[in-house]
């Protein structure tokens, strides 16, 4: 995490939650009624009154919903805003990132190819390729590992390939097997992407071309594609962080079957209705798609608890079929899938035996916390495996604790915290231990820009957990945001003293302790030395103003020159960037001839000084 000085509140803080969820557009009359799984019904008017409140509680800027009754789409609606900056409303045409819902669309395509005898689900994928897999640049990491020769389409669709979700999540950042193929379930985008390579080779066409001809056009999915189309520019949802700030839109121009699709809730619901009825598939293929292929034996889908098995005697309610997660319920077997990225999230669940389903698309990861309440409201679903998915409800004790501290102060928060049991905190379900629970509360307070409360929170709880030194880092971040640099330096000093020698924490705390020190007590350097440093170094420019050095780099996000603060005679830092240092270096003749950028995680780059005219 990079800690920077905060000089002004975020724009969204001025907008507030009241602006979120007010806009709603789509089809549906207020008096119309939607049927739920248990046979009860709910009016559209009641839904549209409750959803904005849920969105506000979850800090969800924009949402699209679609409901399926009796095997057909009966309701679609947009709520909230596409962007908290522009406040343009979400409509039923607004395109959202499909994220991992892309995988289910791709699965349907694969099952069609299998139906036609073009692909065998149990034939090794490498047998469809014109050359050995490691000869492809993207798969050269697998050279020398024979396990890749055993991978099949069935393994990819059931997430039993043994490959990581994505290679950049591994400690080495390389593609490697984390267990023997077929051994167990472990969600893997890498497996789906490898299957895409084989499918495109088999069919002689791209996934986008195949899906458009076989799925999008036949089902009338006019606002769906595996790439971002020019026709989407008039109405698309912007991604947001957990605290309502917009963070842009990833407009993919290359199809990735694991996550690049764009869609609307209405389009995806039409697709989901076709899946439930088996349209475009043989009865055998439709049955196989929703037949459990592998049981779920671990507590969570992602994170540390994805390596922790459920307790002996406990039975997970979920399994995985081909492309879909499966859950058993009193309403029959349900098909579910999730989608998640840095600024968006999706969820759907469908019960083919009841012809019922719901689709949720959101432009923030906070959709996950609202999904349990939304699916229950819309179709009466109480069976989705939210514990396994890690969907902590927005009104959970953690969120309530953060809200209590933010609105009433730390004493009230501590009183509420003392009343909670480990089970209520979600330890063993959402969190590994008490510190993970507390740290998420503290980070939420920082995200809400309640910096004083966050600093007090960490000051209270961090000493109780001396082995979890991340608290000192978060405490410092809160103080830095308030420009309380001396308090931040003390927090960094405490963290440094507790850090194991040679550890990443020792490096980080030492670096940031020096950074704050340079802002508070910089060494006094002679003006003639500073004038020696001023000049042009390629795309880096150093100028002297009123006895201080200012730094600018062409192409950087910050266009204005920023003041440099000295750590030593030749090394400087920037006030608003704690992970960067600039060092001036001299040649053999003693003159300053280059600068070197030094970065927190070990990288460096040099820029030579421009010749004097």
Q: Which residues of the chain are in CATH 2.40.128 domains?
A: 527-608
Question: How confident is the prediction for the chain on average, in pLDDT?
Answer: 91
- Residue 308: pLDDT band (50, 70, 90) is confident
Pick from 3, 140, 105, 65: which is nearest to 337 by CA?
105
Q: In the chain, what is the greatest distance between 2 CA atoms, to the nearest angstrom? A: 87
- Residue 613: pLDDT band (50, 70, 90) is low
Beta bridge partners of 542: 535, 551
- Residue 2: pLDDT band (50, 70, 90) is low
DSSP 8-state assignment for residue 214: I
User: Are 69 and 355 a contacting pair, CB within 8 Å?
Assistant: yes
- Residue 19: pLDDT band (50, 70, 90) is very low
Question: For the purposes of burial, counting CB atoms within 10 Å of the CB of 363, is it exposed (0-12), middle (13-18) or buried (19 or more)?
Answer: buried
- Residue 493: pLDDT band (50, 70, 90) is very high
Specify the pLDDT at position 428.
Answer: 77
Q: Which residue has the tokens 């990735």?
A: 256
Q: Which residues of the chain are in CATH 3.40.710.10 domains?
A: 97-389
Tell me the fold of 527-608.
Lipocalin (2.40.128)
User: Are 80 and 64 a contacting pair, CB within 8 Å?
Assistant: no
Q: What are phi and psi of 132, to 5 degrees?
A: -60, 145
Taking 60 as the threshold, does the pLDDT of residue 16 lie above it? Answer: no
Taking 80 as the threshold, does the pLDDT of residue 558 lie above it? Answer: no
Sheet with 62-69, strands from edge to edge, namely 24-26, 72-80, 62-69, 356-362, 344-351, 334-341, 325-327, 318-320, 294-295
The 10s digit of each residue's pLDDT in 122-148 is 999 999 999 999 999 999 999 999 999
Specify the pLDDT at position 294.
Answer: 95
The 10s digit of each residue's pLDDT in 398-442 is 989 998 998 899 999 999 999 999 999 988 777 888 999 999 999
d(CA 283, CA 287): 6
Choose the weakest-confidence range: 211-225, 262-276, 282-296, 298-312. 298-312
Taking 50 as the threshold, does the pLDDT of residue 389 lie above it? Answer: yes
Taking 60 as the threshold, does the pLDDT of residue 74 lie above it? Answer: yes
Taking 50 as the threshold, does the pLDDT of residue 182 lie above it? Answer: yes
Specify the pLDDT at position 375.
Answer: 97
- Residue 14: pLDDT band (50, 70, 90) is very low
- Residue 464: pLDDT band (50, 70, 90) is very high
- Is pLDDT larger for residue 38 or for residue 312? 38
The 10s digit of each residue's pLDDT in 438-462 is 999 998 899 888 999 999 999 999 9
Specify the pLDDT at position 9.
Answer: 32
Q: Can you read off the two tokens belonging to residue 575?
A: 């006030």
Q: Can you read off the two tokens belonging to residue 262?
A: 């764009």
Taking 70 as the threshold, does the pLDDT of residue 497 lie above it? Answer: yes
Mean pLDDT, residues 98-108 taken together: 98
Pick from 79, 87, 71, 80: which is nearest to 12 by CA?
87
Taking 90 as the threshold, does the pLDDT of residue 174 lie above it? Answer: no
334-341 and 344-351: which strand pairing? Answer: antiparallel
d(CA 187, CA 441): 28
Specify the pLDDT at position 27.
Answer: 53
- Residue 1: pLDDT band (50, 70, 90) is low
- Residue 313: pLDDT band (50, 70, 90) is low
Taking 70 as the threshold, does the pLDDT of residue 349 lie above it? Answer: yes
Choose the weakest-confidence range: 129-138, 219-228, 248-257, 429-438. 429-438
Taking 80 as the threshold, does the pLDDT of residue 30 lie above it? Answer: no
Specify the pLDDT at position 21.
Answer: 42
- Residue 312: pLDDT band (50, 70, 90) is low
Provide DSSP, 368-402: HHHHHHHHHHHH----S-HHHHT---TTSHHHHHH
Q: Does domain 97-389 have CATH number 3.40.710.10?
A: yes
Specify the pLDDT at position 17.
Answer: 47
Alpha carbons within 13 A on the beta-carbon side of 449: 15
Specify the pLDDT at position 315.
Answer: 60
- Residue 556: pLDDT band (50, 70, 90) is confident
Supply the pTM of this predicted model. 0.78
Taking 50 as the threshold, does the pLDDT of residue 18 lie above it? Answer: no
- Residue 7: pLDDT band (50, 70, 90) is very low
């Amino acid at each position: 995490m990079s800690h920077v000085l905060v000089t002004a509140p975020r724009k969204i803080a001025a907008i507030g939650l009241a602006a979120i969820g007010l806009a709603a557009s789509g089809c549906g009359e207020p008096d119309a009624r939607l049927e739920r799984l248990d046979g009860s019904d709910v009016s559209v008017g009641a839904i549209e009154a409750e959803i904005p409140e849920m969105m506000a509680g979850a800090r969800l800027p924009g949402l699209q919903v679609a409901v399926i009754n009796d095997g057909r789409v009966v309701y679609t609606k947009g709520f909230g805003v596409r962007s908290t900056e522009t406040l343009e409303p979400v409509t039923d045409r607004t395109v959202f990132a499909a994220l991992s819902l892309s995988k289910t669309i791709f699965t349907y395509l694969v099952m069609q190819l299998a139906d036609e005898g073009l692909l065998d689900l149990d034939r090794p994928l490498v047998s469809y390729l014109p050359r050995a897999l490691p000869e492809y640049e993207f798969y050269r990491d697998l050279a020398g590992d024979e396990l890749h020769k055993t991978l099949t389409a069935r393994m990819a669709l059931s997430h039993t390939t043994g490959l990581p979700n994505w290679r950049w999540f591994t400690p080495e950042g390389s593609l490697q097997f984390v267990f023997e193929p077929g051994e167990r379930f472990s969600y893997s985008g890498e497996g789906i992407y490898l299957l895409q390579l084989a499918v495109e080779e088999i069919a002689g066409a791209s996934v986008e071309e195949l899906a458009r001809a076989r799925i999008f056009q036949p089902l009338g999915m006019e606002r769906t594609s595996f790439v971002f189309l020019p026709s989407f520019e008039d109405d698309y949802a912007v991604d947001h962080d957990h605290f309502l700030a917009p963070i842009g839109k990833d407009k993919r121009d290359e199809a990735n079957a694991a996550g690049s699709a764009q869609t609307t809730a209405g389009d995806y619901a039409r697709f989901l209705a076709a899946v439930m009825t088996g349209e475009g598939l043989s009865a055998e293929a439709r049955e196989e798609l929703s037949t459990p292929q592998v049981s779920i034996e671990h507590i969570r889908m992602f994170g540390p608890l994805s390596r922790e098995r459920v307790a002996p005697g406990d039975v997970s309610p979920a399994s995985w079929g081909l492309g879909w997660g499966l859950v058993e319920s009193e309403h029959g077997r349900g098909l579910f899938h999730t989608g998640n990225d840095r600024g968006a999230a999706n969820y759907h669940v469908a019960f083919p035996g009841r012809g019922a389903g719901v689709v949720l698309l959101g432009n923030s990861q906070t959709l996950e916390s609202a999904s349990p309440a939304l699916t229950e409201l819309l179709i009466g679903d109480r069976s989705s495996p939210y514990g396994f998915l890690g969907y902590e409800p927005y009104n959970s004790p953690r969120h309530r604790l953060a809200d209590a501290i933010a609105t009433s102060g730390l004493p009230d928060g501590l009183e509420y915290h003392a009343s909670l049991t480990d089970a209520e905190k979600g330890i063993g379900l959402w969190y590994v231990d008490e510190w993970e629970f507390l740290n998420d509360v503290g980070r939420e307070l920082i995200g809400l820009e309640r910096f004083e409360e966050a600093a007090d929170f960490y000051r209270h709880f961090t000493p109780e957990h001396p082995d979890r030194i991340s608290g000192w880092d978060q405490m410092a971040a809160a103080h830095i945001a308030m420009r309380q640099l001396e308090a931040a330096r003390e927090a960094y000093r405490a963290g440094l003293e507790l850090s194991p020698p040679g550890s990443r924490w020792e490096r980080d705390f030492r670096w940031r302790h020096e950074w704050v020190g340079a802002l508070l007590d910089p060494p006094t350097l002679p003006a003639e030395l500073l004038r020696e440093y001023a000049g042009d170094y390629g795309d880096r420019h150093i100028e002297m103003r009123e006895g201080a050095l200012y730094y600018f780099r062409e192409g950087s996000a910050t266009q204005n020159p920023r003041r440099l603060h000295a750590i030593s005679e030749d090394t400087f830092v920037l006030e608003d960037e704690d992970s960067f240092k600039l060092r001036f270096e001299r040649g053999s003749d003693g003159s300053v001839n280059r600068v070197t950028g030094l970065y927190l995680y070990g990288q460096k780059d040099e820029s030579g000084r421009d010749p004097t005219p």
